Amino acid sequence: MDVKIVAVLGSPHGMKGATGALLNRLTQSAVAAGADVKTFNLAEMTVKPCHACDACHRTGQCSITDDFATLKSALLAADGIVLASPNYISSVSAQMKAVLDRCCGPLHCQSMAGKYGVAVVTSGGGESEEVERYILRFLQNMGCWTVGSVGAEARHLADAGARAERLNAAASLGAQLVATIRARKTFPEQENMHRAFYDRMKMLVTLRKKEWTYEHEYWKSLGRL
Ligand SMILES: Cc1cc2nc3c(=O)[nH]c(=O)nc-3n(C[C@H](O)[C@H](O)[C@H](O)COP(=O)(O)O)c2cc1C
């Protein structure tokens, strides 16, 4: 089976930064396991912040013309999604947040449900885990199965032994992501979260059916309503 993975890197340092190094090891390992991996480096792209016009909900199209349309198509076609960001004030970078916010249409439509996701985070002083959890929660809300996450702090990356250990953890996660996709594994412990968010979106789209015509039609066309 052809496994398609899309990675999104949210550091302004691109592949030269700490997050890029960790992500690179993960994607190399996924490629070695036979996956087709495409990395989107947000430092080289323009993805503007959402301006809350609701066009995606009404028409299915974002009103902002920039590189998000290409990224969204790639994400929708992927089996696996890797979201990589530095810790910026206990959250993701602004570049990554713009991508998450622009996914509001697919979130309402649950159109990425059933894909597999992982998170990659680096931080200066710590708290990578908090940001890993934030990214994993986003992926779960999108309906994706989350396979795991990997984080590293500056002190790990400055020490040869700890750096090698973190890079190995990234490589393992890359291989695990590909194996999980191939096996079409499901995670029973995530099912309740998926169901609760799906039901919430169903209620929202039903409630706003007069304004959010595209999303209501989308749900109806799939026989979900
Ligand atoms: C605006 C900004 C905010 C940051 N906030 C935090 C933070 O809250 N906690 C932390 O541990 N590191 C913080 N850092 C440090 C980065 O997370 C860390 O250097 C990261 O590894 C950078 O990754 P990169 O080389 O891929 O860009 C911050 C850095 C910047 C530029």
* Ligand 1 neighbours (beta carbon < 6 A): 11, 13, 17-20, 86-90, 122-127, 154
One-letter amino acid identity for 100? L
The pLDDT, as a whole number, for residue 55 is 98
d(CA 57, CA 222): 16
Tens of pLDDT, residues 25-41: 999 999 999 999 999 99
Supply 157's token pair. Answer: 């990356």
Q: Which atom of ligand 1 is nearest to the CA of 152?
A: 21
pLDDT, tens digit (0-9, with 9 covering 90-100), for 77-116: 999 999 999 999 999 999 999 999 999 999 999 999 999 9
Expressed in angstroms and rounded, the spacing between residue 202 Cα and the centre of ligand 1 is 37
Q: How high is the pLDDT of residue 138? A: 98
Domain 4-221 has CATH 3.10.20.310: no
Q: Are 163 and 136 in contact (CB under 8 A)?
A: no
The reported pTM is 0.98
What contacts 153, CB < 8 A, 6 or more positions away? Answer: 122, 123, 124, 125, 126, 128
Chain centroid to CA 165 = 24
According to DSSP, the residues that pair with 120 across neighbouring strands are 84, 150
Under a CB-based contact definition with an 8 Å cutoff, are residues 147 and 79 in contact? no
Instruction: Write down the domain spans for the chain.
Output: 4-221
**Region 180-209: what's the mean pLDDT?**
98
Residue 138 tokens read as 């986003």
Residue 1 has pLDDT above 60, yes or no: no
Rounded distance from Cα 90 to ligand 1 centre (Å): 9
Q: How buried is residue 108: exposed, middle or buried, by Cβ count under 10 Å (0-12/13-18/19+)?
A: buried
Give the distance (Å) from ligand 1 centre to CA of residue 140: 24
Q: Determine the average pLDDT of the residues in 15-19.
A: 97
pLDDT tens string 23-81: 999 999 999 999 999 999 999 999 999 999 999 999 999 999 999 999 999 999 999 99
